[in-house]
Amino acid sequence: MKVLYGTTTVGLVTKTAAIVAADRRASSGTYIAHKMVKKIVKISDHAVLTTAGLVADTQVLASLLRIKATEYVLSNKAKIPIKSLASYLSIILNSYKYYPFIVQFILAGYDDKPRLYNIEFFGDYFEETYTATGSGSPVAIGVLESEYRADMSVDEAVALAVKAVRSSIRRDVFTGEAVDVAIVKPNGIEERSYSAGW
């Protein structure tokens, strides 16, 4: 089930990193509520989550995911596998299907290799090489589909992610302001910011 919420987030993987990008606009119906929202949330030093949907729902679920990642480290003296984080979030979403959280997520991380998961409304999740969420996703996914290559360098992948979000900024009224990027590598997370590209 594809549910569209006001924003655009994208993700893609290369051989050495997982990359996500998101716009900065928060909307409430047709009202632009904020222009500097951070939609990429750090879960641990090897995982990030992009958020689309109701702000309160995304915040509480991101907090639960951070707690789970921390508990795992304390119990196992190792980083939690990215698939385990995706599965945990999936269980929570599915258990609330009669009173659902209004969210879509992209979970990106690096354990034994770069990982990217699209996590849907009722907890369905899929490992992807590239994906997009939010109201601008129909535009963004077209850009990714036409230009993504498995052998892209990190800089090429970042440029493509930024291009996909900028394309949505031009066509989707709920997407705007700027583009944030997070690059998850074996040695940690690098963050970058870009203009809307006008």
Return the active site residues: 7
**How is 86-149 classified by DSSP, letter by letter?**
HHHHHHHHHHTTTS---EEEEEEEESSSEEEEEE-TTS-EEE-SEEEESTTHHHHHHHHHHH--
CB 140 within 8 Å of CB 78: no
> What separation in angstroms does the CA of 17 have from each of 13, 53, 68, 156, 191?
6, 26, 23, 12, 13
